[in-house]
Structure 1
Amino acid sequence: MRNLEFKEQLHEYTHWREQLIQGIELYRDWRNRYRFSDPQSTDTLLNILQGLQNDRVTLAFVAEFSRGKTELINSLFFAETGVRLLPSSPGRTTMSPTELFWDEKGGSYIRLLNIESRLEDISLMDYKRNPDRWTQIELNCDSPTQMQEAFRELVATKKVSREMADKLGLWNEREAAEQGIINPETVEVPCWRHAMISFPHPLLKEGLCILDTPGLNALGTEPELTLSMLPSAQAIIFVLAADTGVTKSDLEMWKSHVCSSRGNRRQGLAVVMNKIDSMWDDLAGETGYEAAIQKQIDTSAMILNLEKEVIFPVSAKQALLAKVKGDDALLQKSRLNLLESYLSDDILDQRRDILKGVVDKEIGFLVSESVKLMDSKIANAQKQLDEFKQVDFENQELTGKLMAETRDRQNAYMANIENFQASRKVFAVQAKMLIDSFAKEKIDDIIRRTKDDMSKSLTTYGMKQNMRRLFDELRDLLQDSVDMTEETRRLIKAIHKKFQDEYGFKEIEPQLFSIKQHQFELEQIFEEGEAFRNSAKTTMTEQSIVVNKLYGTLIAKARNILQQAQRDAVTWSNSVLSPLMHQIKDHKKQIESRLIMLRKINESKGNVNESIAQLEGELGPLQVQYQELLEILKAVHLEIKAD
């Protein structure tokens, strides 16, 4: 499979996403036109639209130094430039984590964050919000040579004192001693901590984002990479060298950073065994060559505990050369096509399924509510029309009886509305207790207290115990919210059942607030925290750096999850009774309309046909409105959960 096919697959995926966005915008317009909208549902739809519009397919490439990772990126995505766009020549290894994407507003540039920023207690995410803190180099996209030269800044290094290297987290005495470096006056470190590159490559314009991460040392000293950026990637491509197989540092990187970023799932995780051209051997022949590759695949699969089907033997160097020269035979020999197939089919399909799941989770309930409310409106209008056609309105006594029954229904409705308002007040109190259980003040108090205790710990053991206590307290806080959620769910079910039983309202299963996803995400963070707490790197790193890194990444992430849980609880509590309110308003309108018609008919028998015609006239637009809804939902393949 050529890169063109990956490009076509990505283009098709982008087109599908644009159709989904268009369909959701049509649905939002439908709700506005027919007065189904409310502030909460509008916010929900706008949030999902914003998420889809900002969606990127992120591929992360991870490897120890000198595995040919950057060359692989060049061969996969940038061969048509005719040059080695990203620096990957021997001895020139990418030193800083690099993101490649297209920023339509910002244009073409390289932004570089200086290595000294590690001394500040500011997260990478916060730095990204402040372009002024970055060194910017403009890119001339009409000149691959100028871009190539600008990209060389990614491998820039400089010498700093050993004390400064230690503060930056870039000096390890044991590792240096193993390399024969003892008590040096200066240490060579990368100039840049992080790089962001924006230029209008066709794949980047389609929404592809590439994350190129340097070796084990960078991952170990930048927890945000492992704890935030890698987990959010659709796929992680882990690159090995075919001639060495899985080395000790490869395995440490795999276990500590790659696998931990995926939790218990291995979806979107692949291994590239690069540099198979180093195994080409004319004396061994094709059979010997194949056997050698297969042996490395089998061994790597066993060591990494991974399926052999997601280990791809490749020669990135020969693939790039083949694409530049248009040599199909060499490209075939490089075996890049199997990796491209995996990226095109598996990864993009997975991303599509994820987006479908997000859309269904976020607005599936609104869709179901709209369909059922329209069912109810049409059924009630049809029932009233059929009844009016069958009633003998010549019978004055019967007409009077119908009016009396309708007034009784109206009085009962008004009395029960007061009960509903009382239930609503009870629910408001319960919902506030749920929302307050996630209060920012509670979370910040735990975080502030434990950070202070951790900083005062005189031993690594004491610091780690305080770290453990922090995780336990946040877990307990979430458990209190779980208990509160169950009480709130029971109350909302009771309110819905009351109106279904007393008025025969269409049964719309209330949307129940769930905390499970937040629990799952928080437990993942706690697992990452345990790994961080127990890692040798934590034991060997200076205490203040450990505390700052922990709070700048893991704890910030946990705090965001708990705050998102609170925002979700607020949105849910504001909107959960909306479907019931829609039905209550419709019920009131039906009673009032029925009374008006009966009064007209009672006053003049000539109004019977006129009233029936009016009912028929109301039924038609409702059916058109319903059909519009079904067409919108069908066009965007949203599931229609009607009875």
Structure 2
Amino acid sequence: MQTGAAVAGFNEQFDQHGAWRRETALRLKVLGDWLHEQQLLDGGASEGLQRLTEQLQSDKLMVAFVAEFSRGKSELINAVFFAGYGRRIMPASAGRTTMCPTELGHDASVPPCLRLLPIETRLQPQALMEWRLVPEQWTRVDLDVNDPAQLAGAMEKVAEVNLVSVEQARALGFWHDEHPQDNPPVDAQGLVEVPRWRHALINMAHPLLKQGLVVLDTPGLNAIGAEPELTVNLIAQAQAVVFVLGADTGVTRSDLAIWQEHLAPARSGIGAQLVVLNKIDALWDGLRTPQQIEAEIARQCTSTAQTLHVDADQVVALSAQKGLLAKVRGDAALLQDSRLPAFEALLARMALGERQQALEQAVHRGLERLQADALRVIGVQRREWVEQVQELKGLRGKNHAVIRHMRRRVEDEKQTFDRSAAGVLAVRSVHVKLLREVFALLSSASIKSELAGLSAALREPGLKLGVRKVYAEGFDRLRAVVRRVTGQVGEIDAMLGSAFRTLNTEHGFSLQVPPAPDLHRLESELAAVEQSHVQYLGVGNLLHLVRAEFTDKLIRSLFARVRAIFETAVGEIELWNKAASGQLDVELRERRRAFSRRIETIQRIQDAASNLDSRLAELDQQLQSLQALELRLGRMVRELQSSAAPARSGQAVETALA
């Protein structure tokens, strides 16, 4: 296992991040349980709290490692994440090792296993996301996470290959007549090597994976280019993308092709982008001084940054092999020479720090909404108690006839209120009708309809030279949908505002329409998807569009990504709707309870005049209890906000980086 000196880095900071998430989720649960006990949670607030807690518990951080063959990418994964096993887990021998894209994660509902999707599924139109829902089509290998040798042996299956004819290789996407220099060699029997598997899913209870880390290991240019879903979905949504180059080779033609055709879009804000110059130990030849070696590394880093058009601080030089060796042996000096800790610190700061900040902001916003909703319920209850106190004080010294008249008046008020409540239901029915229209616009059927023209154009035979225009037209239609949804949400917001103002005036309610979800970001998210597709379909991949099976995969990948964006918007709108209707439910419920209590109190006073003072004392005690509830709520929220404060977590990260 690693020594104390080798532990500091990405692993330790991810552990701290996981501990923070667990502690914050537990505190939120305690707060939610208390609010539920005090009947201070309406339906919308309860669901919002549940979603926030689930977000903390199930949040994922994906780190994608991308490289051409033989750059030491799998060795870097071993060094950063799996050195604790005391040996290599991912295969990292010379030559082509990771032959298929490999995802490492943890799902508690699935036993530890390696699942492999046969390469022949490429001949069928289903996208990778669809194959995930058909587990029986995957070959499964059980894993023993306590046996490093068995684990490493099982992982070697991702390097398996098949020998197929050139025609089969062409059909599978591994042979391109237009790029003969990139084709695999043909053996004496006229056969070529292709990966045996299309995709691999590794499920194991590694400490980091259990806390939400997902590692994506991708093979070389040919495999990435043939799987559009990798670039436009998985890699594009990773929180960090690590592009691995060889310090001994620099940026080769195929490296540059991967960068320009598949990774450059990430610079527009889709995750952190890091470039690793691996294998600097090749420069440790004993014939140069440390100063000369340092100058050579600095020169290569500067040249790489200029070639890829990235900032110099995004390029890190290291030796993954020496870093792994140092961690296994506990050699602190070798670990520092490998420069692996500097990479881990940068990865943590750029990916992990940004992710935690996003979660902290979500917690802060959630607590503000939760406190506001609870205070609103307390306010409604206080208003009803105060009104009853004033009413009862007015009964002092009154005879039975006046008290009977008071009871009749309260009963009349209750009947009038019940009749007006029916009008509230009519407003709600209009509200629900508008919501259904919004959800229809964001449905799968709507997406298919708006992308029908794009799908038809891409499926037309021949070379699609006007692909940018075709994509622009398709995404213009999607943006028009977003604008219609935004307009209808604004209409619902205005309608609720008008209805709430009327109810507040007529019944003394304190209804407030919660802020509508900001849907303008949907357009920027669609723009990012469009950019990733257009960038992906550069000259190199444009030729793939001639093949119908490739086009089908591309369209299915696009549909899955847009559907995910729209489904997130639907969830936000649903939560907003429940937050608004929840307020109304609380007001109606508390008003009906108040009428019942008022009638019951007057009846008691009719039966015995002495009950008036005792009832006033009870009401005074209720008001004091509400004040105590309000004070405790404020204290609990402040404590939770303090535990999740950005300053506190930021300080922890800085300490870990020091």
TM-score by length of 1: 0.87
Q: 2:247 aligns with which of 242, 247, 254?
A: 242
Q: Pairwise mapping of residues 238-637 of structure 1 onto structure 2 (< 5 A)?
A: 238-260=243-265, 262=266, 264-265=268-269, 267-280=271-284, 282-359=286-363, 365-378=369-382, 381=385, 385=389, 387=390, 393-394=396-397, 413-414=417-418, 416-448=420-452, 450-452=454-456, 454-461=458-465, 466-506=470-510, 508-566=512-570, 568-570=572-574, 572-594=576-598, 596-597=600-601, 600-601=604-605, 605-626=609-630, 629-630=633-634, 632-634=636-638, 636-637=640-641
CA gap of 1:148–1:510, structure 2 versus 1, over 3 A, is closer
Q: Cα offset for 1:434?
A: 2.7
Shift of 1:44: 4.6
Distance 1:202 1:565, change over 3 A: closer
* 2:650 match: none
1:155 equivalenced with 2:159 (yes/no): yes
8 Å Cα contact 1:61/1:238 also seen in 2: yes
| Residue 198 of structure 2: aligned partner | 193
1:119 matches 2:123: yes
Map of 1:13-52 to 2, 5 A cutoff? 13-35=17-39, 42-52=46-56
Cα deviation 1:152-189 (Å, max 9, x = unaligned)? 22222222111111111111234334789699933221
Structure 1 residue aligned with 2:137, among 133, 139, 152? 133
State the alpha-carbon separation in 2 of the partners of residues 620 and 531 from structure 1: 64
Match of 1:7 in 2: 11
The Cα shift of 1:586 comes to 2.1
Structure 2 CA distance for aligned equivalents of residues 180 and 103 of structure 1: 36
TM-aligned CA distance change 1:425 to 1:161, over 3 Å: same
Unaligned runs of 5+ in 2: 645-658
Name the SS for the 2:268 alignment partner: coil
Give the Cα separation in 2 of the matches to 1:30 and 1:355.
Answer: 23
User: Matches of 1:181 and 1:440 in 2, distance apart?
Assistant: 44
| C-alpha spacing 1:120/1:47, structure 2 compared with 1 (3 Å) | farther
CA contact (8 A) 2:75 2:321 kept: yes
Give 1:165's aligned amino acid: A
Q: Give me the whole-angstrom Cα distance separating, in 2, the residues matched to 1:370 and 1:639.
A: 21
| Structure 1 residue 79 displacement after superposition | 2.1
Distance in 1 (CA, whole Å) between partners of 2:557 and 2:367 is: 30
Cα distance per residue 1:243-264 (max 9 Å; x no partner): 333333323322332232x362
Query: How many Å separate the matches in 1 of 2:434 and 2:147?
Result: 63
Cα distance in 2 for partners of 1:586, 1:80 equals 58
Q: Contact 1:513/1:569 (CA < 8 Å) preserved in 2?
A: yes
Kept in 2, the 8 Å contact 1:3–1:77? The answer is no
What secondary structure does 1:219 align onto? helix
Deviates most, 21-30 or 191-200: 21-30
CA deviation string 1:465-507 (max 9, x = no partner) = 6555433333333332222222222111212222334444335
**Distance in 1 (alpha carbons) for counterparts of 2:432 and 2:638:** 36
Distance 1:7 1:441 in 2: 43
Aligned amino acid, residue 154 of structure 1: V
Write the distance in 2 (CA, Å) between the matches of 1:488 and 1:274: 55
Q: Structure 2: how far apart are the matches of 1:224 and 1:11? A: 30
Give the superposition deviation at 1:314. 0.9
Question: Per-residue CA shift, 1:354-381, capped at 9, x if unaligned?
Answer: 2234455678534431233224434653
Give the C-alpha shift of residue 56 in structure 1. 2.9
Counterparts of 1:362 and 1:462 in 2: how far apart (Å)? 46
- In structure 2, the CA distance between the partners of 1:639 and 1:145, relative to structure 1 (3 Å rule), is closer
| 2:652 alignment counterpart | none
1:219 equivalent in alignment to 2:224:
yes
| Equivalent in the alignment of 2:63 | 59
Preserved CA contact (<8 Å) 1:440 1:563? no
Structure 1 residues 434 and 6 mapped into 2: Cα distance closer, same or farther (>3 Å)?
A: closer
CA distance in structure 2 between the aligned counterparts of 1:577 and 1:623, rounded to whole angstroms? 26
Contact 1:393 1:601 (C-alpha < 8 Å) held by counterparts: no
Secondary structure in 2 matching 1:194: strand
Moved more, 166-175 or 140-149: 140-149
Aligned partners of 2:238 and 2:271 also within 8 Å: no
**Identity over aligned residues, as a percent?**
29
* Deviates most, 151-160 or 399-408: 399-408
Question: Quick one: structure 1 residues 362 and 634, their matched pair in 2 at CA, closer, same or farther if it must change by over 3 Å?
Answer: closer
* 8 A contact 2:88–2:152 mirrored in 1: yes
Moved more, 80-89 or 465-474: 465-474
For 2:594 and 2:339, the matched residues in 1 are separated by: 69
Moved more, 511-520 or 456-465: 456-465
Are residues 31 and 269 of structure 1, via their aligned partners in 2, closer, same or farther at CA, if it must alter by over 3 Å?
Answer: same
Question: Aligned pair in 2 of structure 1 residues 121, 45: CA closer, same or farther (>3 Å)?
Answer: farther
Cα distance in 2 for partners of 1:211, 1:433 equals: 38
Distance 1:488 1:539 in 2: 47
SS at match of 1:577: helix
C-alpha distance in 1 between matches for 2:273 and 2:467: 34
Distance 1:175 1:535 in 2: 12
Residue equivalent to 2:647: none
Describe the shift of the 1:598–1:39 C-alpha distance in structure 2 as closer, same or farther (beyond 3 A). Answer: closer
| Preserved contact between residue 450 and residue 466 of structure 1 (Cα < 8 Å) | yes
1:470 alignment partner, SS class = helix
Gaps of at least 5 residues in structure 1 are none
For residues 32-86 of structure 1, give each alpha carbon's deviation from its aligned partner in whole angstroms, at most 9, with x where no partner exists: 4344556665555444444443333322111122221111111112223232222
Question: Which amino acid is the alignment partner of residue 209 of structure 1?
Answer: V
Counterparts in 2 of 1:520 and 1:408: CA distance versus 1, 3 Å: farther
SS in 1 for 2:641: coil
What amino acid is aligned across from residue 66 of structure 1 in structure 2?
Answer: S
Which has the larger displacement, 235-244 or 188-197? Answer: 235-244
C-alpha separation in 2, matches of 1:180 and 1:564? 42
Mapped partners of 1:70, 1:458: distance in 2: 38
| Per-residue deviation, 1:133 | 1.4
CA distance in 2, matches of 1:227, 1:438: 21
CA spacing shift, 1:25–1:309, aligned 2, 3 Å: same
Counterpart residue identity of residue 175, structure 2: W
Q: Does the CA contact (< 8 Å) of 1:165 and 1:187 recur in 2?
A: yes
- Which residue identity lines up with residue 235 of structure 2 in the other structure? L
Distance 1:123 1:540, change over 3 A: closer
Query: Is it true that 1:209 corresponds to 2:214 in the alignment?
Result: yes
Aligned length in residues: 638
Amino acid at match of 1:365: R
Seen in structure 2, the aligned counterparts of structure 1 residues 320 and 429 have a Cα distance that, compared at 3 Å, is closer
Residue 97 (structure 1) shift = 1.0
